[in-house]
Amino acid sequence: MTEEAKNVEMQELQEQTQSASSGHRDINFILDIPLELTVVIGRTKILVQELLQLGQGSVVALEKLAGEPMEVYVNDKLIGRGEVVVVNEKFGIRLTDIISPADRVRQLK
What three-state secondary structure class fits 16?
Answer: helix
Question: Quick one: pLDDT band at residue 12, thresholds 50, 70, 90?
Answer: low
Question: Quick one: pLDDT band at residue 24, thresholds 50, 70, 90?
Answer: low
Q: Distance (Å, rounded) from C-alpha 73 to C-alpha 102? A: 16
Residue 87, C-beta contacts closer than 8 angstroms, at least 6 positions apart: none
- Which run of H or E residues covers position 46? none
Average pLDDT in the chain: 84
Q: Which domains does the chain have, with CATH numbers?
A: 33-108 (2.30.330.10)
For the stretch 72-92, pLDDT in tens is: 999 999 999 999 999 999 999
Tell me the pairing of strands 70-74 and 77-87: antiparallel
pLDDT (0 to 100) of residue 102 = 86
Return the higher-pLDDT residue of 30 and 58: 58
**Strand-by-strand arrangement of the 37-40 sheet:** 37-40, 70-74, 77-87, 90-98
Q: Is the pLDDT of residue 23 over 60?
A: no
Q: Is the pLDDT of residue 2 over 90?
A: no
pLDDT (0 to 100) of residue 28 = 86
